[in-house]
Structure 1
Amino acid sequence: MLKLSRMTGLGDSAPDFALSDTDGQTRTLAEFSDKPALLVAFICNHCPFVLHMIDRLVEFAQEYRPRGLQVVAISSNWPAEFPEDDFAHMQAFARDRQLPFPYLYDESQEVALAYNAICTPDFFLYGPDRTLYYAGQFDASRPKINRPPVPGLPPLRTDLPVTGEDMRRAVDALLAGQPAPQPQHPSAGCSIKWRPGMDPSWA
């Protein structure tokens, strides 16, 4: 099901986390405290919206890492519906895509709830004080998928290349000490696959 990111909580502090990465190491929010910018990206292995942009996200992370951006990816999907989202497939995904950033497994889904994540991909960019600076799309490009139009939503821009334009603008402004660019447009993607009883009222 197509979802748009909620884009709530600008100015709120980043929720803490302690999650296992694909190497089995526990990673925490605090270990990245020396980085002036932190991008938390909720993704998964199977989503066509993620697959459409993941290679450009990898390039973006590599390009901006020397400037102080730390990217952390998190998968919160319950794999009952899509077994390819389980931890073993996450490990293969991280290896095959040569992810240059930690890919963490939010098995309990508590971190996704704390961040108000709703779709994949869903992006949360934090400044040096770890308050939310930008919550929006990577760019306006979307994959070609078979789905009926969503009433009230504009058509997906499947004619655009993946450039990371919106995220680049946001990170550039953050690192330059400037106000966050406006307007911020929501990300679009597949809904997070919640465990029974875990899905929030806004999912």
Structure 2
Amino acid sequence: MARTPSNMIPLGTQAPDFNLLDTVSGKKLALQNLKGDKATVVMFICNHCPFVIHVNAELVAIANAYAERGVSFIAISSNDVVNYPQDSPEKMTIQAEKEGYPFPYLYDETQAVAKAYDAACTPDIYVFDADLKLNYRGQIDDSRPGNGLPVTGKDLRHALDCILENKENTQLQKPSIGCNIKWKTSD
């Protein structure tokens, strides 16, 4: 299991816009229509990554807990489905239903959105404020498959609480660790 850290892009970065296929509704959805009133969480995930599987239930719990507080959650898969067919849009639909995702699960077929966000791994988490300025990026918490630590979502929850309480997040922001995004190879 390769361990790839997320790229820690500068805080304050404006969220790159996108318009991608939602594998649940079958509709194209844009960031501007999905953003939350208080905060927006953009998550790069995929179906088969053990690091994502490890935190799926907590991502659902956090999304359910914060949705009514003006926080929007958006999941995006950017993996190459030719070489990783288990991440195909059809299988993304099945995964979203199986896990009970309360958020859209978007397919980044061209990988342009992952590149715009400088996403590197799954899960890769970005938290933007009401103006879509980056406020947090990195891990959900310190738990990883096999390290024995419980999945609590404490780092992501803390980042969201800081935005909602209008407090500065002074906590150290640690990169996420996960499987690398499966980039398409050029011909």
Considering the TM-score relative to the shorter chain, is it more than 0.5?
yes
State the Cα deviation string for residues 105-151 of structure 1 (Å, max 9, x = none): 0000000000000000000000011100000100000002xxxxxxx
Where does structure 2 lack aligned partners over 5 or more consecutive residues?
none
2:92 is paired with a residue whose SS is helix
Q: TM-score, normalized by length of structure 2?
A: 0.96
Residue in 1 that maps onto 2:14: 13
8 Å contact from structure 2 (residues 22, 104) kept in 1: yes
User: What amino acid is aligned across from residue 168 of structure 1 in structure 2?
Assistant: R
Q: Deviation above 2 Å: which 4+ runs of structure 1?
A: none
User: What amino acid is aligned across from residue 101 of structure 1 in structure 2?
Assistant: F
Residue in 2 that maps onto 1:154: none
1:34–1:61 Cα change, 3 Å: closer
1:98–1:196 Cα change, 3 Å: same
Tell me, in whole angstroms, the C-alpha distance in 2 between the residues paired with 1:34 and 1:82.
Answer: 31
Aligned partner of 1:85 among 81, 87, 93:
87
Tell me, in whole angstroms, the C-alpha distance in 2 between the residues paired with 1:47 and 1:33.
Answer: 26
2:103 is paired with a residue whose SS is coil
Cα deviation for residue 194 of structure 1 reads 0.3
Q: Give matches, 1:6-45, under 5 Å.
A: 6-22=7-23, 23-33=25-35, 35-45=37-47
Where does structure 1 lack aligned partners over 5 or more consecutive residues?
145-157, 199-203
8 Å contact from structure 2 (residues 79, 87) kept in 1: yes
Aligned partner of 2:55 among 53, 56, 59:
53
1:172 is paired with a residue whose SS is helix
Tell me, in whole angstroms, the C-alpha distance in 2 between the residues paired with 1:10 and 1:139.
Answer: 19
Greater radius of gyration (CA): 1
User: What amino acid is aligned across from residue 74 of structure 1 in structure 2?
Assistant: I
Is 1:184 the counterpart of 2:186? The answer is no
Q: TM-score, normalized by length of structure 1?
A: 0.88
